[in-house]
C-alpha cells in the first residue's frame, strides 16, 4: 500500500524531496531512473509516472528544477541503465535467472517469458517498445544481453528508445502537468499512465487466453 500511495502521489513526494534536498535532487532523479532501468531486480520502481511528475514540477518550479538539465540527466540515466543491464545479462544472465532469495526467484520465469515473446514478435525494436512497458522495460536489456544481441544493434535502439521515452513523457508532463484540472486530479492521471503502460501486456495476455 505504501508503494501504491507513493506512485499515485509521486508529484507530492518529489516536491517534498526537491524542497528537502535541493542540492541532491537531480542526483536522486538520476539514481531512480538508473536503478529502474539498470537493475533487473528492481522493475517495480516508478518510471513513466516519475518522468511525467518531473516535467510537471519543472513547469511549476522552473527556478528549482531546470527542464533542460533534468532532461539531460534523465536521458543519461536511461541509456546508462540499459547499458549496465545489458552487460549484467551478457555476463551473469544465466546465473541470475536461477538465483533465489529467501526461497523465491529473484527474476520470475513468467517475466522472462513475456520479454522473450516481445523479442520474438518485434526483434531488436523491443528495446525501444519496452521503454513504455513496465517490467518489460527493465528485463528487455537483460534478456538482450544473455541472448547475445550484438552490442552495436543494442546501443542504437537503446539511445533511440531512451530519447523517445524520456523526452516524450517528461515533456508531456511539462506542458500538461501545470493545467489546474491535471494538478487537481494528478492521481487519476498517474493511474491512466500506468494503465496505458501495461496495455500491451494486457492485450498479449488476452490474445494468449483466446488462442488457448
What integer pLDDT is reported at residue 101 of this predicted model? 59
Residue 114: which H helix or E strand, with range? helix 109-122
Q: Which of 3-7, 77-81, 198-202 has the lowest mean pLDDT?
A: 3-7
The span from the CA of 61 to the CA of 49, in Å, is 18
What integer pLDDT is reported at residue 79 of this predicted model? 96
pLDDT in tens, 85-140: 999 988 887 777 776 655 666 676 776 777 777 777 778 888 888 888 877 888 88
> What is the percent of the chain where pLDDT is above 90?
27
The span from the CA of 4 to the CA of 86, in Å, is 29
What integer pLDDT is reported at residue 75 of this predicted model? 97
The span from the CA of 149 to the CA of 141, in Å, is 9
Higher pLDDT, residue 35 or 9: 35
Beta-strand pair 100-101/104-105: antiparallel
- C-alpha closest to that of 13 among 49, 44, 63, 64: 49
pLDDT grade, residue 146 (50/70/90)? confident
Please report, in angstroms and rounded to a whole number, the separation of the first and last CA atoms in the chain: 34
What integer pLDDT is reported at residue 84 of this predicted model? 95
pLDDT grade, residue 204 (50/70/90)? low
pLDDT grade, residue 44 (50/70/90)? low
Average pLDDT, the chain: 81
* Cβ-contact 87, 144 below 8 angstroms: no
Higher pLDDT, residue 44 or 165: 165
Whole-model pTM: value is 0.82
Higher pLDDT, residue 199 or 137: 137
Higher pLDDT, residue 111 or 64: 64
What 2-8 contacts at long range (C-beta under 8 Å, 24+ apart), as own/partner pairs, is 3/44, 6/46, 7/46, 7/49, 7/190, 7/194, 8/187, 8/190, 8/191
Amino acid at each position: 500500500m505504501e508503494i501504491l500511495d507513493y506512485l499515485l502521489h509521486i508529484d507530492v513526494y518529489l516536491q517534498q524531496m526537491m524542497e528537502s534536498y535541493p542540492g541532491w535532487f537531480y542526483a536522486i532523479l538520476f539514481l531512480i531512473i538508473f536503478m529502474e532501468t539498470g537493475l533487473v531486480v528492481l522493475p517495480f520502481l516508478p518510471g513513466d509516472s516519475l518522468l511525467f511528475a518531473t516535467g510537471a514540477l519543472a513547469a511549476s518550479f522552473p527556478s528549482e528544477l531546470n527542464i533542460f538539465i533534468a532532461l539531460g540527466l534523465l536521458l543519461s540515466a536511461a541509456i546508462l541503465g540499459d547499458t549496465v543491464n545489458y552487460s549484467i545479462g551478457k555476463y551473469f544472465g544465466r546465473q541470475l535467472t536461477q538465483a533465489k532469495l529467501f526461497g523465491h526467484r529473484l527474476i520470475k520465469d513468467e517475466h522472462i517469458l513475456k520479454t522473450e515473446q516481445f523479442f520474438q514478435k518485434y526483434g531488436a525494436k523491443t528495446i525501444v517498445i519496452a521503454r513504455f512497458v513496465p517490467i518489460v522495460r527493465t528485463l528487455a536489456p537483460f534478456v538482450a544481453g544473455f541472448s547475445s544481441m550484438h552490442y552495436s544493434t543494442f546501443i542504437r535502439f537503446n539511445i533511440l528508445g531512451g530519447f523517445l521515452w524520456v523526452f516524450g513523457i517528461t515533456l508531456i508532463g511539462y506542458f500538461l502537468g501545470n493545467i489546474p484540472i491535471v494538478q487537481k486530479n494528478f492521481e487519476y492521471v498517474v493511474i491512466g499512465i500506468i494503465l496505458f503502460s501495461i496495455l500491451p501486456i494486457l492485450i498479449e495476455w488476452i490474445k494468449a487466453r483466446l488462442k488457448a
